[in-house]
Chains A and B, each alone.
Chain A
Amino acid sequence: MPSPQAYRRIYVWELPVRAFHWLNALAIVTLGVTGLLIGKPFSVSYTQEASFQYWFGTVRFIHFTAGYVFLFNMIFRTYWGFVGNRYARWDTFIPTTKAAFEEIVEVLKIDILQTRVKGLIHIGHNRLAGLIYFVTTFIFFFQALTGFALYGPMSRSILGKLAAWVVPLMGSEMVVRQWHHAMLWFYVLFTLVHVYLVFYHDYVEGRGTTSSMVGGWKFEREDLLDH
Chain B
Amino acid sequence: MLGGQPTLWKVMQDKGYDRRDFLQFCTFAAAAAGLGPDASAEVAKAFEKKARPPIVWLHFQECTCCSESFIRASHPIVADVLLDAISLDYSETLQAAAGHQAEKCKADTMKAYAGKYILLVEGSVPTGEHGVYCTIGGRTAEDLLQEAAAGAAAIVAWGNCASYGCVQAAKPNPTGATPIQKLVGKPVINVPGCPPIADVMVALVTHLLMFGRAPELDAQGRPKEFYSRRVHDTCYRRPYYDAGLFVESFDDEHARKGYCLYKMGCRGPLTYNACALTKWNGGTSYPIQSGHGCLGCSESGFWDNGPFYRHLPAFPGFGIESTADSVGLALGAATAVGVAAHAISTNIRKRQVIHDQVAEDVKNTPKSEKVD
A5 and B302 contacting across the interface, CB-CB below 8 Å: no
Q: Do A174 and B263 touch (CB < 8 A)?
A: no
Given known pairs A39-B325, A182-B324, A182-B327, the reply for A114 and B349 (CB within 8 Å) is yes
Q: How far is the CB of A227 from chain B (nearest CB, A)?
A: 21
Beyond A5-B361, A171-B300, A171-B301, whether A54 also contacts B346 by CB under 8 A is no
Within 8 Å of chain A (Cβ to Cβ): is B240?
yes
Q: B244, A53: Cβ atoms under 8 Å?
A: yes
**A174 near B301 (CB under 8 angstroms)?**
yes
B371 within 8 Å of A (CB atoms): no
> Which of the four size classes fits the interface of chain A?
35 or more
Contact of B243 with A178 in the complex, beta carbons under 8 Å = no
- Is B139 among interface residues, defined by CB-CB distance under 8 A? no
Given contacts A5-B361, A114-B346, A188-B332, 14 further A-B contacts (CB under 8 A): A5-B364, A44-B246, A51-B243, A54-B242, A56-B242, A57-B244, A153-B230, A172-B301, A172-B302, A172-B305, A173-B299, A178-B315, A184-B324, A192-B332
Cβ contacts under 8 Å, B311 to chain A: 39-40
Q: How far is the CB of A169 from chain B (nearest CB, A)?
A: 11
Q: Establish whether residues B219 and A55, one from each chain, have CB atoms under 8 Å apart when the complex forms.
A: no
Q: Among A46, A153, A192, A203, which residue has its beta carbon within 8 angstroms of that of B336?
A: A192
Taking the complex as formed, is A97 at the interface, i.e. its CB lies under 8 A from any CB of chain B? no
Instruction: Answer whether residue A168 sits at the interface, using C-beta atoms and an 8 A cutoff.
Output: yes
A185 at the interface (CB under 8 A from B): yes
A51 proximity list for chain B (CB < 8 A) = 239, 243
A54 to B238, CA, bound (A): 11
Q: What residues of A have a CB within 8 angstroms of the CB of B272 in the complex? A: 153
Report the interface size class on chain B: 35 or more
**Pairwise interchain contact A189-B335, C-beta atoms closer than 8 A:** yes
Contact with A along B239-254 (1 / 0, CB 8 A): 1111111101000000
Any A CB within 8 A of the CB of B94: no
**Bound Cα distance A193, B259 (Å):** 40
| Segment among B7-15, B32-40, B337-345 that sits at the interface with chain A | B337-345
Q: A50 with B243: in contact, given A5-B360, A41-B262, A206-B357 (CB under 8 Å)?
A: yes
Shortest Cβ distance from residue B227 to the other chain A in the assembled complex, whole angstroms: 11
Is A40's CB under 8 angstroms from B296's CB? no
Write 17 A-B pairs (CB below 8 A) sorted by A numbering.
A4-B363, A44-B246, A50-B243, A51-B239, A52-B243, A53-B244, A56-B244, A114-B342, A114-B349, A168-B220, A172-B299, A173-B299, A174-B301, A174-B302, A182-B324, A188-B332, A193-B339
Residue of B nearest to A190 (CB): B335
Q: How far is it, in angstroms, between the C-alpha of A173 and the C-alpha of B267 when the chains are bound?
A: 10
A24-58: which residues lie under 8 A (CB-CB) from chain B? 39-41, 43-44, 46, 50-57
Contact between A204 and B346, CB atoms less than 8 A apart: yes
Closest Cβ of chain B to A223, distance in Å, is 10
**B229 nearest CB across to chain A (Å):** 9
A4/B312 in contact, CB under 8 A: no
Indicate if the CB atoms of A203 and B244 lie closer than 8 Å.
Answer: no
A174 proximity list for chain B (CB < 8 A): 267, 270, 296, 299, 301-302, 305, 313
Contact with A along B69-100 (1 / 0, CB 8 A): 00000000000000000000000000000000
A133 close to B (CB within 8 Å): no
B63 on the interface (CB 8 Å rule)? no
Q: A50-B245, A53-B245 are in contact. Are A164 and B343 (CB under 8 A)?
A: no
When the two chains form their complex, are residues B301 and A154 in contact, meaning their CB atoms are under 8 A apart? no
Q: Are A4 and B364 in contact (CB under 8 A)?
A: yes
A4 CB to nearest B CB, Å: 5
Q: Are A44 and B244 in contact (CB under 8 A)?
A: yes
Q: Which residues of A contact B240 (CB under 8 A)?
A: 50
Residues of B within 8 A of A221 (CB): 360
Chain A residues engaging chain B, CB cutoff 8 angstroms: 3-5, 39-41, 43-44, 46, 50-57, 59, 114, 116, 153-154, 164, 168, 171-175, 177-178, 181-182, 184-185, 188-189, 192-193, 196, 200, 203-204, 206, 221
**B346 and A40 form a contact (CB under 8 A):** no
Which residues of chain A are near B230, meaning CB under 8 Å?
153-154
- Closest A residue by C-beta to B357: A206
Bound CA span A175–B346, Å: 41
Point out the residues of chain B lying under 8 angstroms from A4, CB to CB: 363-364
Q: Are B312 and A178 in contact (CB under 8 A)?
A: yes
Nearest residue, chain A, Cβ from B237: A50
Q: Which of B239, B263, B353 is within 8 Å of A204, CB to CB?
A: B353
A196 and B332 form a contact (CB under 8 A):
no
Q: Is B321 an interface residue (CB 8 A)?
A: no
Establish whether residues A164 and B346, one from each chain, have CB atoms under 8 Å apart when the complex forms: no
A46 with B245: CB separation less than 8 A: yes
- Chain B's closest residue to A189 (CB) is B335
Given known contacts A5-B361, A116-B356, A174-B267, is B241 in contact with A39 (CB within 8 Å)? no
- By the criterion CB–CB under 8 Å, are A5 and B263 in contact? no
Write out the residue numbers on chain A whose beta carbons fall within 8 Å of the beta carbon of B356: 116
B219 proximity list for chain A (CB < 8 A): 164, 168
Q: Which of A43, A56, A168, A203 is the one whose CB lies under 8 Å from B353?
A: A203
